[in-house]
Amino acid sequence: MEIDKILSEQKEKLKEKKKIESILRSSKKIWKEVWEELKEIRDRFKDKRKTTIKTMETVEYNLEDFIEHEEAVLVISRNGWLRKFK
């Protein structure tokens, strides 16, 4: 009785092994499996959103408000590099 159970389990494992090996030999089969798994995940997690997405109204701003005016010294090196000193 126990031996029959073990033998049937072994047959199932061998079938599964052959199936996996055939999938791994073909890139088309691999991508088909990936697609199937993605569809399963989509179906499992396709609940409705709990939050709503709304569009924001455009905000008027002045670009000058974001520019900091400060004194600085710029130096160009012999290699053409530009450096700023505050």
Residues 62 and 68: their CA atoms lie apart, in Å, by 13
Q: Give me the phi and psi of 9, to 5 degrees please.
A: -65, -40
Strand partners, 84: 74
Residues 17 and 4: their CA atoms lie apart, in Å, by 20
Whether the pLDDT of residue 64 is over 90: the answer is no
Highest-pLDDT range among 29-33, 50-54, 56-60? 29-33
pTM of model > 0.75? no
The pLDDT, as a whole number, for residue 19 is 93
Tokens of 18: 């052959």
Q: What is the pLDDT of residues 18-28, one digit of tens each?
A: 999 999 999 99
Segment holding 82, helix H or strand E: strand 82-85
Q: Classify residue 64 by its DSSP letter.
A: G
